[in-house]
Amino acid sequence: MSKRIAYQGVQGAYSEQACKNAYEGYETIACDTFQEAMWMVERGDADLAMIPLENSTAGRVEEIYRLIPKMSLHVIAEHFEPIVHCLLALPGVKIEALKYVASHPQALAQCHNNILSLDLKAEAKLDTAGAAKELVELNDPSRAAIASKLAADIYGLHILKENFEDKHGNTTRFFILSAKNQVPPYEQNKRYITSLVFQVQNIPAALYKVLGGFASNGINLLKIESYMGTHMLTGSQFHIDIDGHIDSDIMRIALREVSFFAEDVRILGVYESHRNHQIEYTI
């Protein structure tokens, strides 16, 4: 029986493309929502879930940060997927015949200048691949869609223009989630990321005290996000990505300090840094 990986969206979505690039040979499962994709893994109906966390152009996927504290899954890897928008049309249609173009609002925004240059009317849809699928159903030669090359292959559409985005280099970072915690053994010559969530009391300098353990031990924080908790809490919750492995000596010391000043500390996962990881800064 082949292994399965779940994602949110319809066939041809960029999330499915990420699944195929990161886990070649896995059967991909389309889900209506992020939560459904996570449930598939929790129930054992899928081995993994590919969940988008942030985009270099559009920013974070806010819904994911609300779901992460509630889930029972573990982060076992990260994946960076380059987003290449394609202008798709029905087979045989010339670009001069187009009047309308449909896609997700983010994709339309990322292709805004090119859409204007072709004098097309933009129509917002729920997702990119859904726009491609609808284009086939409408069978209207005056209409186009902005979606992935995978969507073009699946729905038999013609790629009029590849790299249709206004600015190249757009990338989405994904978390790969599993029901089983898979912490890789610590090796000094490799780079790791530890992701965790915690809550702080609503008192002065609470976050400063929690993060002080990382600063005093020379540990770099790659990312920090704050959001309200899942219940009526007196303090805020934070998600941080740390440049390091929990089994390194300095990380053990830092995490002890975090536990002293924070509440509900939960390690989401420890995983090797993806080779394309470029989001790097010091807090």
Output the pLDDT for position 200. 84
Position of tokens 């002890």? Answer: 256
Residues 172-200: tens digit of each pLDDT:
999 999 999 999 999 989 999 999 999 88
CATH number of domain containing 77? 3.40.190.10
State whether 31 and 75 are in the same domain.
yes
State whether 14 and 65 are in the same domain.
yes
- Taking the C-alpha atoms of residue 191 and residue 30, their distance in angstroms, rounded to an integer, is 32
Domain count, the chain: 3
- Taking the C-alpha atoms of residue 240 and residue 214, their distance in angstroms, rounded to an integer, is 11
> Is residue 169 classed exposed, middle or buried when 0-12, 13-18 and 19+ CB atoms within 10 A define those classes?
exposed
State whether 197 and 267 are in the same domain.
yes
> Is residue 63 classed exposed, middle or buried when 0-12, 13-18 and 19+ CB atoms within 10 A define those classes?
middle
For residue 124, pLDDT over 60 is answered with yes
State whether 54 and 97 are in the same domain.
no
**Strand positions, DSSP E, the chain:** 4-8, 27-31, 48-55, 59-60, 74-82, 86-89, 100-103, 121-124, 143-147, 158-161, 171-178, 192-199, 221-227, 237-243, 263-272
State whether 17 and 69 are in the same domain.
yes
The CA angle 242-206-67, to the nearest 5 degrees, is 55
Q: Is residue 232 part of a domain?
A: yes
State whether 102 and 78 are in the same domain.
no
Q: Is residue 237 part of a domain?
A: yes
The residues annotated as belonging to the active site are 172, 174
For residue 218, pLDDT over 70 is answered with yes
CATH number of domain containing 240? 3.30.70.260
Q: Is residue 117 part of a domain?
A: yes
State whether 65 and 109 are in the same domain.
no
For residue 225, pLDDT over 80 is answered with yes
State whether 112 and 72 are in the same domain.
no
pLDDT band, very low/low/confident/very high, at 239 (cuts 50, 70, 90): very high
What average pLDDT does this structure show over 70-93?
A: 95
CB 90 within 8 A of CB 214: no
- Decide which of 178, 204, 227 is a domain's last residue: 178
State whether 247 and 260 are in the same domain.
yes
Q: Is residue 148 part of a domain?
A: yes
What average pLDDT does this structure show over 55-69?
A: 83
Q: Is residue 40 part of a domain?
A: yes
Among 50-59, 119-128, 184-193, the minimum mean pLDDT is found in 50-59
What average pLDDT does this structure show over 232-248?
A: 84
- Decide which of 110, 143, 178 is a domain's last residue: 178
Q: Is residue 277 part of a domain?
A: no
Output the pLDDT for position 263. 83
- Taking the C-alpha atoms of residue 175 and residue 80, their distance in angstroms, rounded to an integer, is 9
What average pLDDT does this structure show over 264-278?
A: 82
For residue 243, pLDDT over 90 is answered with yes
For residue 85, pLDDT over 50 is answered with yes
CB 55 within 8 A of CB 83: yes
What average pLDDT does this structure show over 27-52?
A: 96
Range of the domain at 35: 4-82+171-178
State whether 73 and 23 are in the same domain.
yes
pLDDT band, very low/low/confident/very high, at 281 (cuts 50, 70, 90): very low
State whether 100 and 156 are in the same domain.
yes
- Decide which of 133, 153, 178 is a domain's last residue: 178
What average pLDDT does this structure show over 99-124?
A: 95
Among 189, 199, 177, residue whose Cα is nearest residue 261: 199
State whether 196 and 267 are in the same domain.
yes
Output the pLDDT for position 68. 83
- Taking the C-alpha atoms of residue 50 and residue 61, their distance in angstroms, rounded to an integer, is 13
Instruction: Kindly report the average pLDDT of the chain as a whole number.
Output: 90
For residue 229, pLDDT over 50 is answered with yes
Q: Is residue 28 part of a domain?
A: yes
CB 10 within 8 A of CB 37: no
Q: Is residue 20 part of a domain?
A: yes
For residue 59, pLDDT over 60 is answered with yes
pLDDT band, very low/low/confident/very high, at 21 (cuts 50, 70, 90): very high
